[in-house]
Structure 1
Amino acid sequence: MTDTAVSPAALVREVLAATRAQPGERTTAVSRMLVEADVTGEERDQLVAAVRDSQQQTARLRRRATELEALFWTARELVRLQDVTDVLRRLVERAHELMGTDVTYLSEVDNEQGDLRVRYSAGTVTPEFRDLLVPAGYGLASLVAETREPAWVSSYPDMAEAPHDAGIDTAVEREGLVSFLGVPLAIGEEVLGALFACNRFSHDFTPDQVLLLSAFADHAAAVLHSARVLAESAAARAHAEEAYRELERHVSATRVVGAIHEELTAAVMSGATVIDLVSTLSDRLRRPVRAVDEAGRPLDASADTRAALPSRRSLGDAIRESRTSGHAVLVQGEEGARWLVVAIIGVDRVLGAILAEDADAATHDVARLTMERAAQVAALVSFKRDAVSAIRAERRARVLAAVLDGDADAAALAVELAEPVVAAAVLDVRGHEGALGLAAEVVGDEGVVAVRDHLLVLAWTTVDVEGVTERVRRVLADRLGDPGLSAVVVSAVEGVAALRSSVDRAARDLRFLDPLGIRGVTVRSADFAPYHVLTSGAPDAAARFVDGVLGPVRAWDERRGTVLVETLGAYFDRGESRQATAAALHVHPNTVQQRLDRIWSLLAGEADDAEFRFRLQAAVRLELLRRALR
């Protein structure tokens, strides 16, 4: 041994230090010291090899300790499981650190089809990859999910184990990834997702790497499964609590609604109307309540409300929806107020609706249930009212029909009407059932309605016969679905005989309208006066027409011995020329003018009214014809 020989103690210390160092470190120093200690070459090589093996074992144990520490951390986090998102993100980061790969990411099953979407990632550089969706059946992720086994490829572009997808390939290319290792996240038979470790170069993954990533995947699967179980448990508990609260609210609301329903029923038994029901509801619910007809018109126009009603269109939609569902419908008012709307449903149609302002959300359920009960009570009130109205209308219709047929006199109508009949109207309701009841409802106490054959006859006590008849015609046209429904009115009816003749005349006038192409209007019978003579079978029809138009002129001739009628006939025969008329009568033109002035002063019409001039000519010709035939 030389003077510079290494002491045994120093050599042992160096060998021990080398065994604890990282692989490849301090082996040169150990080899040099062995040379200085005169250790032979073969022994020296064996000792250095042993040091290297020890270094590898030590490094493996250190790595295993780190891995176990990371896995213990995830286990502790899993037990606490306060924030699933944070736990999984940190799990991916730990796996990324220990795997030593370029990119690590976790994909979770996104839908029932089995598509996988990237949820958490570490080491990625492109946003497209961080939210990548892998369709079921494509890519390495689908292979891992289907086989429930780890899978890896050293070169993804050359992968043949699973079908490629253009979108996935583009995202992988932009991220620069080449080699992939994927392990499933499975609980029992269910696959929740997959955990991946990737490099941007070709790489063959070792069994240790597969085992390590699989351990992290098992923890991630446990986290996802636990989170799902906790969420389902919390949802079930919340649902049960809400169901219990809802039951309490329903029982409380039912008690209140039952009390109000009893009060409404008692009101009906005492003869209350729909308006009375609405007033009771308003008091009990402490909010504005209104009633409308089927067209959305308020039944009580004088009622006050704190908010404007919904528009006719939105109200009509709500009534139709309520009729279909049988429940109250929430609709927005014109000024921001919300209204609960429930339809009053009859046997075959909507009778109207009840509206209550819905300003108090706390009592919404009570108001809704009360409204629905009230609508049923209102329907009963309407049935009762309609039944009474139908009996009354049928009785009055029989009386009017008897009067028109000559089986009763004016005294019978006087029993039904407070005022005498002064006008009549006729409508053709052929093929329309229910026209009598509808008309009687609209007419009310202003007249009497009857049906003779296919004609609806209205005997009015009001002088505004055209206005009220047009109102009835519009309602019938709308309710019966016949926009072409027309009516003829006769004014100045005096006595039963005049009523009968007026109805017959109006019926004949009604037949004129279709040939003239006139539909959907209300017209006056007086407009057809010249044609009554042509269509009437009465022997005195022509005389009455002539007397009605020309009577004052004939009376003047009879009293004064003048020839005003003859002058008027000659005037019309000669194209209303005064010169030609004067020549034909052998008088001066001024005389003709004086006679014409007298004639126009006696007549009820105006000289510039073409319709009156037509009637006047017809009356003059009929009078001159009558004189000539005599």
Structure 2
Amino acid sequence: MADPTRASPVATAALVRGVVSATRSEPGESTAALAALLAEADVAAAEVEELLASVQEAQQLTARLRRRATELEALFSTARELVRLQDVTDVLRRLVERAHELMGTDVTYLSEVDDAQGDLRVRYSVGTVTPEFRDLLVPAGYGLASLVANSREPVWVRQYARMADAPHDASIDAAVEREGLVSFLGVPLAVGDEVLGALFACNRFAHDFTPDQVLLLSAFADHAAAVLHSARVLADSATARARAEQAYRELHRHLEATQVASSIHEQLTAAVMSGATVVDLVSTLSDRLGRRVWALDDAARPLGASAGPVRGLPARMLLTGAVRESQRSGHAATIDHDGGRWLVVAILGADRVLGAIVAERGGEDPPDDDVVRPTLERAAHVAALVSFKRDAASALRAERRARALLAVIEGETARNEADLRAEFSAEITACAVVDVQGREGALTAAADAVGDDGIVAVRGEYLIVAWGVPEATDETERMRRVLADRLRQPDIRAVVAVAEGTSLRAAVDRATRDLRLLVPLGITDATVRSDAFAPYHVLTSAAPDAVARFVDEVLGRVREWDSRRGTALVETLAAYFDGGGSRQAAAASLRVHKNTVQQRLERIWTLLEGDWDDAEYRFRVQAAVRLENLRVRLIAGR
């Protein structure tokens, strides 16, 4: 090597600048200028070659350092975005774009685990040309993705079509072919033991991926995994926070509902202690809940309402079904019908439904179901206590009054009558005998139906009712229908007898005999008046004065007229009936003028109280006349 000291300072400086400049150049760039400088400096050829080799090596190292600096800058940039993680989609998209730029491949894409089976779906891609590849779903166990996910290691293939390490899927192969991809490098997105997806770099030509490329893509994959994991953690945290907040709101609402329900329950309990009825309870509920509330009886009919549908309530069939559902579940049942909504809670006794409470949907700002449902259910318990209290008091009162009634029927003593007046101050106008065949619960049901209008007692298989109302027949029929419904016994029969002017015991006995006649007559479900059997009482009665009473009831005023005036009106009636209703025949039989018979008949019609055009009444008059004539003849023949 020539002695550099012999070179000029200028030449030496130029040589140094040339060497430094050459080492900073990109690999492969020409080194001819440096070689010329070295020749001018009289450097030996062998040394020139060695120096040029060193310069080229320095060029490659410098280029690698530059590339690593760029890669590190990209990775640091991604890391900074990860720290400031706001939009996961934007971070992952830019991460894939940077990986694509640095890898220098034709296509770069990120696939994320799509479901519990481990299927991978392409989420972000750069360089793709077919739309179906941008949303490609790779089933678990197929293709290069399965190798990456199962091995949790980077995997690359020079030619995908010839890959034999994993099964191929026809649809996946077709998508790869349409995209024109040949070589693949895939690295896993893993956190701990979980694989979240995979990052792929692909070329449209056969290519052997270098370790530097594998490391670079793996670094981006680690960042992508961190992004996905952070997003999931944040999502889980947000979900947990939202659930906690929702739970707190639910707890707060539940506590408020409990406080409101407890307040209403205390008010209902206080009302019960002061003697409130079920109707009073539902009135309180309606005021506190801001909606209409009804009380139903055990047959799903509104308490205190007249017969027929009630405005605002669903049909009785729907109510009955909802009461049965509430009875089974022990909670409020819902009726949604024709745009309306109601809550129904059964009032339960020990072995039966006592009734129900029904509340409609509220107004503009009503309490929600968290308040209404528990309130109605608690109110049903309170109503059950009210019903028990009422039933117990009613049962004691009914039993006491029944004893007094039976004592009068069986004894007829002055003391018994005084006891009955103490229990029932109204005047007894009629009695009814009802055939309930000794059914259990008949006395309580009948007492509820009768109320303060009468007294009920059980006598053998019959119910005896002493009425203090003017329309006893109508009231008895109403009570009979209630019994038929509650006892599930449609064939209930009843007979009503007037008790005025005769003893209560006699009226009950007469009605009882009449009730027995209904069976052979085929009458199974009706209420009839005892008066309808008047002509037949004398045929069935064993009482010694039965005939005399019957005749006197029908002909009493006519007989009295004959007795005071010395006329023969009863005799004229007998002749009239014997003559088939002919005035001429009656006149001939009596040996009087026809006009005399006409005058006597007109007087008779004014004295009789019935309707002469009524065939049944004429039959009774005729029967009474014949019995009277029989009595007179028998007396005359003694």
TM-score grouping bracket, smaller chain normalisation: 0.5 to 0.7
Cα distance change of structure 1 residues 146 and 30 upon mapping to structure 2, 3 Å threshold: same
Residue in structure 1 matching 2:572, options 560, 568, 573:
560
Residues in 1 aligned to 2:406 and 2:509: alpha-carbon distance in whole angstroms: 14
Equivalent position to 2:445, from 410, 421, 438: 438
* Residues 206-240 of structure 1: CA deviation (Å, up to 9, x unaligned): 54444333322222222222233334444445555
Please say if residues 300 and 355 of structure 2, whose CA atoms lie closer than 8 Å, have aligned partners that are also in contact. Answer: no
Change (3 A) 1:355 1:47: same
Q: Is 2:229 aligned against 1:221?
A: no
For 2:173 and 2:263, how far apart are their aligned partners in 1? 70
Matched, 1:414 2:417: no
Matched, 1:450 2:457: yes
- Give the alignment's Cα RMSD to 1 decimal: 6.1
User: In the alignment, residue 190 of structure 2 is paired with which amino acid?
Assistant: A
Query: Which residue number in structure 1 is paired with residue 396 of structure 2?
Result: 391
CA 1:362–1:447 in 2, change beyond 3 Å: closer, same or farther?
closer
Offset of residue 350 of structure 1: 5.1
Alignment deviations for residues 171-212 of structure 1 (CA, whole Å, 9 cap, x no partner): 667767666544332221223333344556666655444433
Could you tell me how far apart the structure 2 residues matched to 1:131 and 1:171 are? Answer: 10
Q: Give the deviation of 1:506 after TM superposition.
A: 5.6
Alignment equivalent of 1:189, drawn from 174, 189, 193: 193
Gaps of 5+ in 2: 1-10, 560-567, 590-594
Distance 1:500 1:329, change over 3 A: closer
Q: Does the Cα contact within 8 Å between 2:22 and 2:55 map onto a contact in 1? A: no
Any idea what SS the aligned residue of 1:226 has? helix
**1:293 paired residue among 292, 296, 311:** 296
In structure 2, the partner of 1:74 is: 78
User: Following the alignment from structure 1 to structure 2, what is the Cα–Cα distance between the partners of residues 154 and 394?
Assistant: 104
1:524 matched residue in structure 2: 528
Cα pair 2:433 2:464 within 8 Å, conserved: yes
Name 1:496's counterpart in structure 2: 504
In 1, the alpha carbon distance for the partners of 2:437 and 2:101 equals 92
Instruction: Confirm or deny: 8 A CA contact 2:123 2:134 kept in the other structure.
Output: yes
> What's the offset of the Cα at 1:124?
5.3
How many angstroms does 1:85 deviate by?
3.1
Mapping of 1:2-151 within 5 angstroms? 20-21=25-26, 60-99=64-103, 100-102=105-107, 104-111=109-116, 113-123=117-127, 136-137=140-141, 140-151=144-155
CA distance in 1, matches of 2:612, 2:57: 135
Decide whether the 8 Å contact of 2:535 with 2:550 is kept in 1. no
* Structure 1 unpaired stretches of 5+: 1-6, 303-307, 571-580, 586-590
- Greater shift, 79-88 or 327-336, is seen at 327-336
Contact 2:268 2:382 in 1 (8 A): yes
Task: Check conservation: 1:328, 1:371, Cα contact below 8 A.
Answer: yes
Instruction: Indicate if the aligned counterparts of 1:136 and 1:142 stay in contact, CA closer than 8 A.
Output: yes
Distance (Å, rounded) in 2 between the aligned partners of 1:227 and 1:248: 31
Assess if the C-alpha contact under 8 Å between 1:549 and 1:603 holds in 2.
no
Q: Is the 8 A contact 2:433 2:512 kept in 1?
A: no
State the SS of the aligned residue for 2:457. Answer: strand
Q: What's the % identity of the aligned pairs? A: 55
The 3 A distance-change label for structure 1 pair 30 and 225 is: same
Alpha-carbon distance change, 496 to 613 in structure 1, aligned in 2, over 3 angstroms = closer
Structure-2 change in CA distance of 1:318 and 1:10 (3 Å):
farther
Q: What is the distance in 1 between the residues matched to 2:370 and 2:221?
A: 50
- Separation in 1 of the partners of 2:571 and 2:555? 12
Q: Does structure 2 conserve the Cα–Cα contact (< 8 Å) formed by 1:145 and 1:193? A: yes
Letter in 1 for 2:469: T
The DSSP-based 3-state class of the residue aligned with 1:508 is helix
Distance 1:70 1:395, change over 3 A: farther
Q: CA shift at 1:67, angstroms? A: 3.0
**Which TM-score applies when normalising by structure 2?**
0.67
Q: How does 1:158-169 map to 2 (within 5 A)?
A: 161-162=165-166
- Aligned partners of 2:497 and 2:508 also within 8 Å: no
Q: Matched residue pairs, number? A: 582
> 1:588 aligns to what?
none
Q: CA deviation at 1:496?
A: 1.2
Residue 576 of structure 1: aligned partner? none
What do the CA deviations read for 1:240-260 (whole angstroms, capped 9, x no partner)? 556566666666776676666
Asked if the contact 2:347–2:355 (Cα under 8 Å) also holds between the matched residues in 1, the reply is yes
Distance in 1 separating the partners of 2:101 and 2:538: 112
